[in-house]
Amino acid sequence: MRIAIALFSIFSCLVFLSNKGGRNQPTTGASFENSAPACAECHSGGSYQPTLAIALKDSLGNEVDAYRPNSTYTLEMQIASTSGNPKTYGFQAVMVDEAGVQAGSFVSLGDKVRKLTLQNRVYLTQISPVASGLFTAKWQAPAVGKPLKLYIAGLATNNNNNTSGDKGAYTSFDLSPQLVATEDETVEENPIYINGRYISWSTYAQNVRLYDQSGRLLQKTSGNLLEIPLAQPGLYILVLDCDGKTKSHKLIL
């Protein structure tokens, strides 16, 4: 089930709700943003402990562990607090690939959600703060399956029309593609060997990715050896990028 809920480090200089419609500046905490908001614009002093959670749902409303390329999903983002009694919540989020490039597109938006284009990426933020803390959008996955990351920041507020007494948090969530394994037609050129929890192959791979049968990324490395310390019996998919070619292999452990 693709929903993850956690308590995250609180920071005192989250600035995107300095106006109620969200700030026109990237503030999700992603490394590529390089933003340093002025302390005069910070939300701070609140006793809240914000939490952030997401769920990705298919067209039938089922939560999924991985996405299919080109498919459309409902992205639910829930901001809450484990302490205090916030009046309203705000957020900002962006979906990118491993290179920090915009991934997929937001084809429609839920209540009180709007889009911003910042630093060549499309961000989501609130039109106005929401008491429930739930924000949604329809997201179309990219045409090519690849590991993605959703950066998100959330804010719990006392709704007193200034920045005092609020509290913010930020984190990121990983999204993996649902892979359909293909048989390697030239597997004899790069045979796969399994010895206990070790998997090896003859040709050096610039990129190595191991997925479980649901498409969840388990490990990423390079070379020609992979160790799975906690391997459970079952079907796995090994993807190797060798000399500009990508091959996928079904493995049964």
* CA–CA distance, 127 with 168 (Å, rounded to integer): 18
The pLDDT score that the predictor gives to residue 245 is 83
User: Which residues make up the CATH 2.60.40.3080 domain(s) of the chain?
Assistant: 187-252
State the pLDDT at residue 7: 41
CATH 2.60.40.2410, the chain: domain bounds: 3-177
Check whether 89 has a pLDDT greater than 90.
Answer: yes
Strands 66-67 and 164-177: parallel
More confident residue, 223 or 251: 223
- What confidence tens digit (pLDDT) does each residue in 16-63 have? 444 555 567 888 989 898 764 533 344 555 689 999 999 999 998 989
Beta strands, E only, 178-216: 192-195, 198-212
| Each residue's pLDDT tens digit, 179-206 | 554 444 444 456 777 766 778 887 888 9
pLDDT band of residue 214 (cuts 50, 70, 90) is confident
Q: What is the pLDDT of residue 6?
A: 41
Residue pair 89/154 in contact (Cβ under 8 Å)? The answer is: yes
Cα gap 149→97, rounded to integer Å: 6
Q: What is the structure's pLDDT at 241?
A: 87
Mean pLDDT of 98-126: 95
- Provide the 8-state DSSP code for 189: G
pLDDT at residue 215 in the model: 81
Contact between residue 96 and residue 149 where contact means Cβ atoms under 8 Å apart: yes
- Arithmetic mean of pLDDT over the chain: 81
Four-CA torsion 151, 156, 159, 161, nearest 10 degrees: -50
3-state secondary structure 144-163: CCCCEEEEEEEEEECCCCCC
In the CATH hierarchy, which top-level class contains the domain 187-252? mainly beta
Of 96-110, 181-195, 224-238, give the lowest mean pLDDT range.
181-195
Dump pLDDT digits (tens) for 151-178: 999 999 988 877 677 888 999 999 988 7
Q: pLDDT at residue 216 above 70?
A: yes
pLDDT digits (tens, 9 = 90+) for 113-147: 999 999 999 999 999 999 999 999 999 999 877 88
Q: Which CATH number fits domain 3-177: 2.60.40.2410, 1.10.150.20, 3.40.225.10, 2.40.160.100?
A: 2.60.40.2410
- What pLDDT was estimated at residue 44? 56
| pLDDT confidence of residue 23 | 61
